Amino acid sequence: MNILLEIVELILPGLLVLAAVYLMQRHFWKLEIGRSEKQLLVEARKITMPVRLQAYERLALLMERISPAPLVLRVAKPGIGLSKLQQNLIQSIHEEFEHNLSQQIYVSGNCWSMVRSAVEQTIQQVNVTAAGLDSNADEGTFAARFMQNVLEQTNNPAEQALFLIRSEAARLF
């Protein structure tokens, strides 16, 4: 019995020291893993931040390019006729949108929905304006009516989307 007590007296302090070392080592590794994860997040942000900003810039440019005045000025050519003008406007909007489809990865779902809605509503405005005119109307008449229809709207979808794009981009800083 005496030998058993001596063995316990010798082993017990060693086990306590071993347990203390194990607990300290486990705590140290948790802290180290936390630091590593934070550093990885910082490094990832350094890479993704410029890409996300570029996405917001491109979507803002898209909204500017599908705004009525720049759109009509860019696409309308003298003497092309109402039907061809309508077709060219819609094609231009589609091309601009398709060129920026990949940007949806870098922006919120709400922002992307607003951009897509602005594109769809702009196409709808083109079609409504063209439908309200005589088929012999020229591009000047179309442009004037298109601008008038847009101004009569209380909420321009492209301007709303642009406001959301700007506010989301500002939150990155």
78 contacts: CB under 8 Å, gap ≥ 6: 139
Distance CA 144, CA 11 (A): 95
Confidence of residue 31 (pLDDT cuts 50, 70, 90): very high
Backbone angles phi, psi at 137, to 5 degrees: -65, 150
* Model confidence pLDDT, tens digit, residues 98-136: 999 999 999 999 999 999 999 999 999 999 999 988 878
Provide the domain count of the chain: 1
| Secondary structure, 3-state, 25-70 | HHHHHHHHHHHHHHHHHHHHHHHHHHHHHHHHHHHHHHHHHCCHHH
Percent of all residues in the chain with a pLDDT value above 90, rounded to a whole number? 51
Least confident of 11-15, 64-68, 153-157: 153-157
What is the per-residue pLDDT for 27? 94
Does any domain span residue 160? yes
Do the domain assignments include residue 24?
A: no
Q: Residue 6: inside a domain, yes or no?
A: no
pLDDT value, residue 118: 95
Domain contains 11: no
Q: Is residue 60 domain-resident? A: yes
> Cα–Cα distance between 140 and 124 in angstroms, integer?
19
Does a structural domain hold residue 132?
yes
Which residue type occupies 19? A
By C-alpha distance, which of 73, 45, 47, 62 is closest to 164? 62
CA geometry: angle 109, 122, 160, nearest 5 deg? 50
Question: Which of 66, 56, 52, 53 minimizes the C-alpha distance to 97?
Answer: 66
Q: How far apart are CA 62 and CA 118, in angstroms?
A: 10
pLDDT in tens, 126-170: 999 999 888 788 888 888 888 888 888 778 888 899 999 999 999
Residue 41 lies in a domain: no
pTM for the whole thing? 0.74
* Per-residue confidence (pLDDT) for residue 109, from 0 to 100: 94
Residue 149, domain extent: 49-170
* Residue 19 resides in a domain: no
